[in-house]
Chain A
Amino acid sequence: MNEEKKQRPRAFRLDSAAGPDFVVEDRPDPYEAEAEALAGDAAEQAVEAVQGRTILRGTVFSWSGLLFSALGGLASFAFALWLNSLVEALFARSETLGLIGLALAGLALLALLVLLGREVKSVFRQRRIASLHIALARAHAADDREAARREVAELAKLYEKRPETAAARKKLAELRGEIVDGRDLIDIAERQLMPPLDRAARGEIAAAAKRVSVVAALSPRAVIDVIFVAYQALRLIRRIAEIYGGRPGMLGAWRLARAVGSHLAITGSMALGDSLVQQILGHGIAAKISARLGEGVLNGMLTARIGLSAMAVCRPMAFVAQKPPAIRDVAPFLFGDGGAGAEAPRK
């Protein structure tokens, strides 16, 4: 900093009659650029809207919810009644049988409680990731140093059981003590922590897309590939959530699937110009060769698209310092150009 040479304040009249000996260059307005960066990222807004609507949604009152809760309550009463009468019947027959029945019922209850607890825990974990995503995006937008430090510490805590992130976490812990701008700290965290996870997620997407397209191309019945695609999609969503630190159980996976679904619905129109043309084209060429092959490519693309949405929704931070992957990056084989597509620029 000491090399910074002192420069005297200066004034340049812009209407100088003597003919200026200087050139004034307009510069892009930094505040407008900042405002655009804040308002313009529609993709990020879509992710946050979806997270707010699905994953982060607490228990909400709704009539359908009330109906199902009431019906569920009645059903559990019926079940408890049936269990009760069963155990009583067993006791009536012999005390030993009754005791065994009681023990089995107790075990079932215990297992149910544990499962329920895990389910709740996983939902909360996914919520934590989603709120972390939003908090990090906000801290990044506001360039808030304190918030950035807090949230990055939280982020590191999320991955403290992952040995492959140890080096990155150590570096971040060192940086947190130093004076780094909030925005820079978050960018550094993204560059340090996310790439291995992103790579793993992309690998999963590619594998799932490949499997789906092959099965769809080969399967004898349409029903089979519908079931297979649905199964693969759900599995892919769960895998990606696990990669980014979530542990979705059944309820969690259902919520995630809903989040991915609405994210697809929102971003579907945004991506129209982006890759649908390519998709139709690709489909067309493949379909010319064989109708089945075309089916396979289309199904593969659908799966890859689901995977990308899952990535956006499950990732604990937005794509800022890193480029968000496009379909071409994760499944280049669907476009028939081998690995070349991975370098294709997005937008």
Chain B
Amino acid sequence: MTSFADLIAEARNSAANLSEIFLRGNGLRLGVTGLSRAGKTVFITALVQHLTALAPRDQKNPLPVFRVAAEGRLIAGRLEPQPDDHVARFAYEDHIDSLTGPDRHWPQSTRQISELRLRLEFDRPRRFANGPAHFDIDIVDYPGEWLLDLPLLEKSFAQWSRETLEASAAAARASFAADWRGFVLGLDPAGGEDESAARRAAELFTAYLRAARADAYALSTLPPGRFLMPGDLEGSPALTFAPLHLPEGYEITPATLAAMMERRYEAYKTHVVRPFFRDHFARLDRQIVLVDALSALNSGPAALRDLQTALDDVLAAFRIGRGNPLLNLFRPKIDKILIAATKADHLHHLSHDRLEAILRQLAARAIARSEFSGASVDVIALAAVRATREVAVRRGRETLDAIVGVPLAGESLDGEVFDGETEAAIFPGLLPADARAAFRGDALGIPEGEADYRFLRFRPPVAVLGPDGAPLPLPHIRLDRACQFLFGDRLL
């Protein structure tokens, strides 16, 4: 798999890394990823907002676990020009406007790779080098779907076709896979190179992937990732292919539909998948993987197991390990991974332990593998922006631990359909005490009336304005713990 181009890229990465270390000093590259709608954008926005708008000393510290802030050693944080000019900048200002503006709403989701450099100025308590110092955090945001493409590098077109068709044959997927399956099974792989058939197949295939990703089903393992997250490749021939029905041992002959599809599949691998891993992905030092476990829980055990597979693939893609300090100069490895269940504000804090247990179960294999290679892995339930508060609702003799927030327009529960303006107290149900119970069964897309738990989505909270009229950092749950884990150890 190692080609000459890869070797060149490796060398370039090493050189870039070395020059960064020597020219610029202190810093790290933090990868932020997660499948779509896991909350990557909100996480980065909230993180940057907290670190750039430091609360005045006399106020309550919003980040008590983040030691450098808790000890009052954090002087300032500001955004700096990013080092890689060919990567889009993370549109922090736009996102913060959408979160705190008059018509508050969740920001647009990640569509492509983007980057942001955050410089922290802090006081170093160290013995020999005390005094002010600075630390650069390069936040690299990229869709987790792209990581799911890594296994494709090892698969031939025929193999991938077979696997994709098999997966779509499952009973639970029948309802939304029927259109595309009908069309593909009717195609003759040995037919001519028919561009319109290829386009149609690709469209139907993309529609199938989107349907599987939709809220009701919340499936996760759906490569190729660029079909869902095309980035800047929308409509290019590298994305105009689809699996074909190829029996075992089928010989692809030239100038057929199958040959054309195979060529495009290979092009996708060479021109899309490989460069991403080579150019952006190889230089990360720390990684946070955001997981929207609640949607999968809403959908059912089958979606949860699917998420487990996806997480496994995502975490297998990382170059993990502690490595030795000298080699790390040339070839950094990820030595800390945080797996975070986002939107923890959608359930009561008494359920957070259970959510973490489920997350641990979700990532169990990946955690074992990472720890074997010497990286430290942690699992937390967090909410980068906290949209709810906790109350107790008493009716008659029963008391329910509920959360209060403004559910998004169109969300429904218990016979109520919300309009996005009214507040409601929601009791989302209890997660199973035994994490494994959540994985048992084959249900997918469980309707609301039959579920034991249902997590609604809420609107962002109303921002409190500071004395200068700028919005204060929004409330959060355990964002400080994430900071401490991801880069707190380097701010000493």
Asked whether any CB of chain A lies closer than 8 Å to the CB of B185, the reply is: no
Asked whether any CB of chain A lies closer than 8 Å to the CB of B20, the reply is: no
Name B395's contact: one of A6, A7, A23 (CB within 8 Å).
Answer: A23
What is the distance, in angstroms, from A47's C-beta to the closest C-beta of chain B?
A: 15
List of A residues within 8 angstroms of B111 by Cβ = none
Interface size classification for chain B: 35 or more
What is the distance, in angstroms, from A204's C-beta to the closest C-beta of chain B?
A: 34
Interface string of B424-438 (1 = CB under 8 A from A): 111111100110000
Asked whether any CB of chain B lies closer than 8 Å to the CB of A337, the reply is: no
Interface string of B386-402 (1 = CB under 8 A from A): 10011111110000101
**Cross-chain contact B127 with A12 (CB below 8 angstroms):** no
Number of interface residues of A (CB under 8 A): 31
**Cross-chain contact A142 with B391 (CB below 8 angstroms):** no
**Cross-chain contact B452 with A24 (CB below 8 angstroms):** no
List of B residues within 8 angstroms of A227 by Cβ = none
**Cross-chain contact A8 with B416 (CB below 8 angstroms):** no
Asked whether any CB of chain A lies closer than 8 Å to the CB of B60, the reply is: yes
**Cross-chain contact A6 with B452 (CB below 8 angstroms):** yes
Also in contact, A141 and B65, with CB within 8 A (given A14-B404, A23-B394, A24-B391): yes
Also in contact, A9 and B393, with CB within 8 A (given A4-B430, A14-B422, A141-B65): no
List of A residues within 8 angstroms of B65 by Cβ = 38, 141-142
Stretch binding the partner chain, chosen from A28-36, A98-106, A153-161: A28-36
**Cross-chain contact B416 with A11 (CB below 8 angstroms):** yes
List of B residues within 8 angstroms of A1 by Cβ = 433-434
Also in contact, A7 and B70, with CB within 8 A (given A24-B425, A30-B390, A38-B65): no
Asked whether any CB of chain A lies closer than 8 Å to the CB of B453, the reply is: yes
Q: How far is the CA of A38 from the CA of B64 in the complex (A)?
A: 7
**Cross-chain contact A13 with B422 (CB below 8 angstroms):** yes
Asked whether any CB of chain B lies closer than 8 Å to the CB of A345, the reply is: no
List of A residues within 8 angstroms of B181 by Cβ = none
Also in contact, A23 and B393, with CB within 8 A (given A14-B404, A39-B70): yes
Interface contact tally, CB-CB below 8 A: 104
Name B426's contact: one of A4, A10, A25, A142 (CB within 8 Å).
Answer: A10
Name A11's contact: one of B127, B389, B391, B413 (CB within 8 Å).
Answer: B413
Q: How far is the CA of A7 from the CA of B485 in the complex (A)?
A: 36
Asked whether any CB of chain B lies closer than 8 Å to the CB of A174, the reply is: no
List of A residues within 8 angstroms of B415 by Cβ = 11
**Cross-chain contact A11 with B433 (CB below 8 angstroms):** no
Interface string of A277-321 (1 = CB under 8 A from B): 000000000000000000000000000000000000000000000
What is the distance, in angstroms, from B391's C-beta to the closest C-beta of chain A?
A: 5
Interface of chain A, main secondary structure: mixed
**Cross-chain contact B413 with A22 (CB below 8 angstroms):** no
Asked whether any CB of chain B lies closer than 8 Å to the CB of A21, the reply is: yes
**Cross-chain contact A22 with B393 (CB below 8 angstroms):** yes
**Cross-chain contact B395 with A14 (CB below 8 angstroms):** no
Name A30's contact: one of B349, B430, B452, B453 (CB within 8 Å).
Answer: B349
Also in contact, A14 and B349, with CB within 8 A (given A30-B390, A35-B60, A39-B64): no
Q: Which residue of A lies closest to B376 (CB)?
A: A146
What is the distance, in angstroms, from B338's C-beta to the closest C-beta of chain A?
A: 13
What is the distance, in angstroms, from B127's C-beta to the closest C-beta of chain A?
A: 6
What is the distance, in angstroms, from A152's C-beta to the closest C-beta of chain B?
A: 19
**Cross-chain contact B392 with A25 (CB below 8 angstroms):** yes
Q: Which residue of B lies closest to A5 (CB)?
A: B430
**Cross-chain contact A9 with B394 (CB below 8 angstroms):** no
Q: Report, nearest first, the 7 A-B pairs whose CB atoms are least far apart.
A: A22-B395, A9-B429, A11-B414, A35-B64, A12-B425, A11-B413, A38-B64
27 residue pairs A–B, Cβ–Cβ below 8 Å: A4-B433, A7-B430, A8-B429, A9-B452, A11-B407, A11-B426, A12-B425, A12-B427, A15-B422, A15-B423, A21-B395, A22-B393, A23-B393, A24-B391, A24-B392, A24-B393, A24-B402, A27-B391, A31-B349, A31-B477, A35-B61, A35-B64, A38-B64, A38-B65, A39-B64, A58-B127, A142-B65
Known: A1-B433, A13-B416, A21-B395. 9 other contacts (CB 8 A): A1-B434, A11-B415, A11-B425, A12-B424, A13-B424, A15-B422, A23-B395, A25-B393, A31-B349
Q: Measuring CB to CB, which residues of chain B are less than 8 angstroms from any residue of chain A?
A: 60-61, 64-65, 70, 127, 349, 386, 389-395, 400, 402, 404, 407, 413-416, 422-430, 433-434, 451-454, 456, 477, 481, 484
Q: Measuring CB to CB, which residues of chain A are less than 8 angstroms from any residue of chain B?
A: 1, 4, 6-15, 21-27, 29-32, 34-35, 38-39, 58, 60, 141-142
